[in-house]
Amino acid sequence: MRLLFIGDVVGRTGRHAVVQRLPELRERWRLDFVVVNGENAAGGFGITEAICEDFLSAGADCITLGNHAFDQREALVFIERQHRLIRPANYPAGTPGRGANLIEARNGARVLVTNIMGRVFMDPLDDPFATVDRELEACPLGMACDAIVIDIHAETTSEKYAMGHFADGRASLVVGTHTHAPTADAQILPGGTAYQSDAGMTGDYNSVIGMNKAEPLQRFTRRIPTGRFEPADGPATLCGVAVEIGGDGLATMVQPVRLGGRLREETPRDWE
């Protein structure tokens, strides 16, 4: 089974990269399942129903979110009817939407996708480890599903690594999002789970984590905000992680993906 995870889509240029490139990548790489993190897709903050549908129409099977999940207020409503849009599972009880769902891949495989928020330097949500443990026990790999993807939306690499080892052997992929910089640590953990600390963003890297440079620089150097953060609109780099999954649901290959924009290109060598 071939799976592609696409990192945080930021603004119009990131959306364009996904919509333009994903249909061709699905066919060229014979992808069975695609996950897109879309929590920064609407002007850098949240996601709208129209954007969600654009991603699904382009070939995404599932869209994950994060701390900006409900910045666009309409998401509180449409997330209830869109079962392929996944918000963090450790939000409080009663939060609209779902934190995990079992979705059928193109090859007929059953893929559990769950989104989880870290707590270090972030909102003090429910315990992410206990939440993931509950989801994995409810839908165990190789029994109730054929593959499991965990998107850990967190600030620190230590918390992401801890989640990787916590789920090792019980998930197909644990991948970090939120920090918007692709890490160089893609690996298969000892128990067979693919891992990368951050998939990187899909956006303009001539920026400050996807935002036009002027306002962040003003705030860092002068400590005075002068306006809103606005997404940079130069050519985007599509960043993500490519994973090959065996019949036991564990990873046999993991490799970073970088296409277009400013970063050096990298593609899964065995898929070309």
Residues identified as active-site = 68
Q: In a 10 Å sphere around its CB, with 0-12 CB exposed, 13-18 middle and 19+ buried, how is residue 233 labelled? A: middle
Give me the phi and psi of 165, to 5 degrees please: -70, -30
Sequence-ordered list of residues with C-beta below 8 angstroms from that of 256, at least 6 positions apart, any chain: 182, 184, 186, 196, 200, 239, 240, 241, 242, 266
Q: Decide the pairing of beta strands 62-64 and 33-37.
A: parallel
The secondary structure of residue 6, as a DSSP letter, is E
156 touches 121 (CB < 8 A): yes
209 touches 182 (CB < 8 A): no
Distance CA 40, CA 43 (A): 7
255 touches 242 (CB < 8 A): yes
Measured from the Cβ of residue 232, the count of other Cβ atoms closer than 10 Å reads: 23
